[in-house]
Chains A and B, each alone.
Chain A
Amino acid sequence: MTCLPAHTDKRLGLVIDLDTCVGCQACVTACKEWNTGGHMAPLTDIDPYGGHVDGVWFNRVHSYEHITEMGGRTVNFPRSCLHCEQPACVTVCPTGASYKRASDGIVLIDEDKCIGCKLCSWACPYGAREFDTDVGVMKKCTLCVDRIYNDNLAEEDRVPACVAACPTSARHFGDLGDPMSAVSQLAAERGGVDLMPEMGYRPTNKYLPPRAHTQRAASVPAKALEPVKAEGGFLGWVDRMLSS
């Protein structure tokens, strides 16, 4: 049923740090690599070596220029499913293919039930769902449901592929329904925000805004460099003689 669960035992999701994300796209490729063989496989590529490359990705990293009175800065912005508490993508689904799990709040698609009407992608304000034109069904982030509960993986690897791959630890995975969890604490401490809160979808994932600009220039403890241009005249002759 595409009616939403009244309550989910956990609220698994991601906390993404916009301060430390360097836009390296490692999470993007790690996601594609894992998921093209995972729960929603395949993540079809259309014309991958041609002029009109297209394909299904669950995670996309944008780059923005954010200009305020404090100055400008580049912000790298990973965008993926936020596993909302009020996901209209689920309730609009006419077939029951889309559902939100009562156990952990993950929003998933049953590919065998999807008729490919695309209405769920219209209902998602964040562009989290992408249609696979080859298979004819909708696809989306699974929060690596086939990794996080996978007993065949070492315990430290039971996190989404994007989190495991991030070289700057800009991505954190955990239960945002538990106020004592590390991710909840991090979001509270850093003032994590919801995307498009005015839409009322109540996303689970939180974004940590970039830290404030510093008012002071960094101090440089190294000595000032020596001039490299050779001195002329008597002092220059003394310098050359003593240096040799």
Chain B
Amino acid sequence: MHPAFSVVFFTTATGAGYGLLALLGVLGAAGFIEPDFWLGLAGVGLALGLISAGLLSSTGHLGRPERAWRAFSQWRSSWLSREGVSSVLTFVPAGLFGIGWIILGRLDGWVSAAGLLAAIGAVSTVCMTGMIYASLKPIAQWHSPYTFPGYLIFSAMSGGVLLDALLQGFALGSAILSVASALLTLLGWSWKLATWRYNDRLEIPTTANTATGLAGGTVRSLEWPHTEENYLLKEMGFRIARKHAAKLRRITQALAFGLPILLLITALVLPWPLSAMSSALAAIAQFAGLLVERWLFFAEAKHTVTLYYGR
């Protein structure tokens, strides 16, 4: 599948943004975080900024972005529509949570309720994003038991590392949160390795035989219907990644998982502000690594239409 940057950035940014929003909502409601003005502004601002930037980026992928409002109508059948509805609905409690925290300076009562609702909305939106990909049968690497949990794990992981960096920046860091973020990153790493292992061993029942209805023997593409690449090949016959897959997987592992874990552990023993810098670096490296991971998620996915072209 062609990795359109707008969609790669969209899923990575909203994943981290919703993860951060959910953690702020839950930890704020639980009284784990003080209603500090600057922390609220930076935290809620960063979460909603990432979500908004991601959602705006996703409209860049549309052929007719001016009609994007129509995408809220088909929530009864379409995961993409449900994602749109859920993302917009989440802005309501998230906005109230931000107003309560930043302007009114409180995280109790209705503000904590708004925080919990925002967290529910955030988790639900990430679930919808995961289901968009997990529900697509023609792409075996996506229509797998690993896709849906993967989106939730990566969202929690990147949100956790971001929250840790934020709290460290305000000298409010806690060893528990740093260790939890490192453990979530370790979980993400294991999940990605397991996903790759599953995909590499995948035996897909759809072949050139079933695609053409020609039973038995071998079916070899003799001639395409056209001489140049068409929409189908440009969008779904993307092949560049397979050449560099091994290298890109190593880059993903180093940036998204290995380096952040190392930096999070280092931050535990360093004095402030060095610990804050180390935590911030972990978040930045992880975001960059997840962009590569998401790029590979698209580029390594193979659509059944490529069978018609002998690819």
Show the binding face of A for B, using Cβ within 8 Å.
Answer: 1-4, 18, 25, 28, 52-57, 60-69, 74-75, 77, 79, 88, 90-97, 113-119, 121-127, 130-133, 135-138, 193-200, 207, 209-210
- How long is the Cα–Cα vector from A77 to B61 in the complex, in angstroms? 32
Check A137–B1 contact: CB distance below 8 A.
no
A136 and B136 contact, CB distance less than 8 A: no
Query: How many chain B residues touch A (Cβ–Cβ < 8 Å)?
Result: 59
Q: A93-B78, A95-B67, A117-B71 are in contact. Are A131 and B231 (CB under 8 A)?
A: yes
The answer to whether B308 and A65 have CB atoms under 8 Å apart is: no
Q: Is B190 an interface residue (CB 8 A)?
A: no
Min CB distance, B5 to chain A, in Å?
15
Residues on A with beta carbons closer than 8 Å to the beta carbon of B138: 122-125, 199
Do residues A115 and B67 form an inter-chain contact, with CB atoms below 8 A? Answer: yes
Chain A residues contacting B211 (CB-CB under 8 Å) are: 126, 195-196
The CA of A91 and the CA of B81, in the complex, are separated in Å by 10
Contact assessment for B77 and A115 in the assembled complex, using a CB-CB cutoff below 8 Å: no
**With a CB–CB cut-off of 8 A, which chain B residues contact A115?**
62-65, 67-68, 70-71
| CA A127 to CA B304, docked complex, whole Å | 8
The answer to whether B137 touches A2, judged by C-beta atoms less than 8 angstroms apart, is no
As a 0/1 sequence over residues 292 to 307 of chain B, the CB contacts with chain A under 8 angstroms (1 = contact) are: 0000000000011100
Contact call A94/B214, Cβ cutoff below 8 A: no
Chain A residues near B222: list those with CB within 8 A: 63-65, 74
Contacts of A53 in B (CB 8 A): 226-228
Q: How far is the CA of A2 from the CA of B82 in the complex (A)?
A: 13
Whether the pair A1, B232 counts as a contact (CB closer than 8 A) is no
Contact status of A2 and B232, CB under 8 A, knowing A65-B222, A198-B210 = no
Indicate whether A113 sits within 8 Å of B70 (C-beta atoms), given known contacts A54-B231, A66-B219: yes
A interface footprint on B77-112 (CB within 8 Å = 1, 0 otherwise): 111110010000000000000000000000000000
Known contacts A60-B225, A94-B73, A198-B210; A119/B67 CB under 8 A: no
Nearest Cβ on chain B to A200's Cβ, whole angstroms: 7
Partner of A94, one of B71, B205, B206, B226: B71
B76 within 8 A of partner (CB): yes
B250 at the binding interface (Cβ < 8 Å) = no
Partner of A196, one of B136, B210, B232, B303: B210
